[in-house]
């Protein structure tokens, strides 16, 4: 089963909206919030106005789908939902995040 991991930076309400939208897609096997082990690590502590400086948070969602077609629908719905709420969304290759 293909696995999609995505990160959303924004408010909890935005993350919940994206997760609920994905839950509404037919044939999605599993939708699960996971802990991001790098959440507390900042790349540049000297920069101002970073996402965690303005009270946004990064949430990670893992979605299991039966095939690539459903996966594309998940990506599209997630992008549209996050975009309408002006949240940042990033799709992560699950294999790379384990390295």
Q: List per-residue pLDDT tens for the chain, 99 residues long.
A: 799 999 999 999 999 999 999 999 999 999 999 985 555 555 555 555 554 455 679 999 999 999 999 999 999 999 999 999 999 999 997 665 443
Range of the domain at 14: 3-37+51-57+67-97
Residue 12: inside a domain, yes or no? yes
Residue 62: inside a domain, yes or no? no
Question: How many domains is the chain built from?
Answer: 1
Would you say how long the chain is, in residues?
Answer: 99
Residue 30: inside a domain, yes or no? yes
DSSP tally for the chain: helices H, then strands E: 3, 4
Residue 42: inside a domain, yes or no? no
pLDDT on residue 59: 96
Residue 44: inside a domain, yes or no? no
Query: Of all helices (H) and strands (E), which one includes residue 16?
Result: helix 12-23
Residue 7: inside a domain, yes or no? yes
Residue 43: inside a domain, yes or no? no
DSSP letters, 60-94, are EEEEE-SSHHHHHHHHHHHHHHHHHTT-EEEEE-H
């Amino acid at each position: 089963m293909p696995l999609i991991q995505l990160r959303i930076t924004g408010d909890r309400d935005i993350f919940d909206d994206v997760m609920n939208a994905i839950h509404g897609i037919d044939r999605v096997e599993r939708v699960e919030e996971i802990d991001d082990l790098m959440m507390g690590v900042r790349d540049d502590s000297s920069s101002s106005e970073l996402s965690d400086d303005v009270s946004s948070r990064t949430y990670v969602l893992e979605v299991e789908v039966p095939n690539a077609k459903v996966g594309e629908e998940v990506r599209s719905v997630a992008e549209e939902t996050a975009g309408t709420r002006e949240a940042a969304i990033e799709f992560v290759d699950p294999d790379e995040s384990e390295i």
